[in-house]
Amino acid sequence: MSRRLIGFDPGSRLCGWGVVDAEGRKIRHVDNGVIVLPAKKPLTERIAILVPKVRELIAIYRPHRAAAEQIIFVRNVRAAVALAQVRGALVAACSLSDLAVDEYGPTEVKKAITGRGRAAKEQVAEMVMRLLNLPEVPQEDAADALAVALAGSLLADAPSQGPRVASGRGSGKGRKAWEAYVNERKE
């Protein structure tokens, strides 16, 4: 049975989103994009723009679940508060649409996608492109959102297999198991 997931990479100016269909171990790209929030507008107005756009995406794509990236450590307290407010609005928009939201930390997403929790953003984007057979790497925020959706699918389908078998350094038996897993998903 196919399940549709929508992933979000919350941001106070750019909010990435990505939709994937998962059936067993096969995952297919549906769509992705970025909600652009006007930087010069107050945060409350940006949130007022974000919520209906998120609800519209949910109405269009009708996902079974949502996945959102958890807030990462931010040195700037003001930026962290703004990001938390945007993320809260995003989760509320999903809840208002009767959509459950799973949360994943950046390290968890990176490990699910690349086999390494400390992978560079470029490595994650490249793996997203490869796993979804995309012709090119998506825009950064959209790639992050697709990574969150993929992580949601991978971690839900195979919590003790797949990406979690890879070693922390990306070499040896764990790396070979990860590569076999990625190749199997492409078929």
Instruction: Point out the residues that are catalytic.
Output: 9, 69, 141
Q: List the one residue out of 90, 26, 92, 30 whose CA is nearest residue 61.
A: 30
What are the distances in angstroms from CA 75 to CA 2, 71, 93, 164? 40, 12, 27, 30
Rounded distance, CA 156 to CA 99, Å?
A: 16
Consecutive H or E run containing 140: helix 140-157
Q: List the one residue out of 116, 108, 107 whose CA is nearest residue 171.
A: 116
The one-letter amino acid at 172: G
